[in-house]
Amino acid sequence: MREKLTFEEQAKQLEQKLGCPCTYFPPSKPRFPFEKKGGHILKAYQQAREREGFTPVLLVLDEWGNMAEMFGDLEAFRQTMSSTPIEDGRAMLHRFEEDARAEWGEDLSPEELEEHFGQVLGGDMSEGQKITEFLSLTDYQGKQTQPVVLAEIPVKDPWEVFAYLPFGGWNACPAPEEHRAAAKYWFEQYGAVPAVMSMDIVEYILPAPVPRDKAMEVALEQYFFCVDIVEQGVGTVGALAGGLAKSNYWYFWWD
């Protein structure tokens, strides 16, 4: 049986695998009563964003899996992605919606389908909750930070992190090339930048919340891109839209 690596060992292995500068932040608790959990990590991330020549990404290490092993053969992956055209992100997200509606229509009667969409695609925007921070940087109890690696990914355009790191392509999670297409579209439309990644989570940071008149449109795109954030999360697309109209952070999670 393979010996389990410590988080520090995982961080070193990950830096070697990625081939770019990395900084490891071990789990920590606030030193002072009013200190924000993970504030030092966010500060380091923001400082890294001010430098040129790379895109910083916070990689959250997991006690259940080794991210370096998850990434597999990076050289082969990057070569493949370098020759893969970027799909139009808006068109791709519309295709996701069409495919989902068609698939659900095979399993549900017209009445059941109408009821499902009436419940999930509705909802009141006033129920939306503002996201004020990166959610996956702290543990589930919110008592301390997770072990995190700040990786200086050597790409200029932020959506190209998905051509450098092979995230996705399992279960209902979109493939890396689909993440890249969506990230490019959302960056061009709203300035959204992929900033945090774990084994099954991606978080974005934005310069400003989505305009309220666009929030429902974006929420629908995000729902069909990542069903779990609604059906196992906020409950309705309306609630998701309300949160998007208030937040500088986006959160995606695939079960």
58 forms beta bridges with 150, 196
Structure tokens given for 181: 């297409």
| pLDDT at residue 132 in the model | 94
Inside any domain, residue 106:
no
Distance CA 202, CA 110 (A): 34
Instruction: Specify the higher pLDDT residue, 115 or 71.
Output: 71
| pLDDT at residue 31 in the model | 60
Inside any domain, residue 1:
no
Inside any domain, residue 61:
yes
Inside any domain, residue 23:
yes
Distance CA 159, CA 168 (A): 14
Q: What is the pLDDT of residues 180-214, one digit of tens each?
A: 999 999 999 999 999 999 999 999 999 999 999 99
Inside any domain, residue 234:
yes
Distance CA 104, CA 117 (A): 10
Distance CA 175, CA 169 (A): 4
Inside any domain, residue 158:
yes
Task: Point out the least confidently predicted range of 52-56, 141-145, 224-228, 242-246.
Answer: 141-145
AA identity, residue 165: L
| pLDDT at residue 136 in the model | 93
Structure tokens given for 22: 């990395």
| pLDDT at residue 39 in the model | 87
Q: What is the pLDDT of residues 10-43, one digit of tens each?
A: 999 999 999 999 999 999 876 644 456 678 999 9
- Domain of residue 223 covers 7-88+122-253
Query: Is a pLDDT exceeding 50 seen at residue 248?
Result: yes
Inside any domain, residue 94:
no
| pLDDT at residue 204 in the model | 98
| pLDDT at residue 1 in the model | 44
| pLDDT at residue 110 in the model | 74
| pLDDT at residue 100 in the model | 86
Q: What is the pLDDT of residues 82-141, one digit of tens each?
A: 999 999 999 999 999 999 888 877 777 777 777 767 677 777 888 899 999 999 998 877
Inside any domain, residue 35:
yes
Q: How many domains does the chain have?
A: 1
- Nearest Cα residue to 22 out of 83, 67, 77: 67
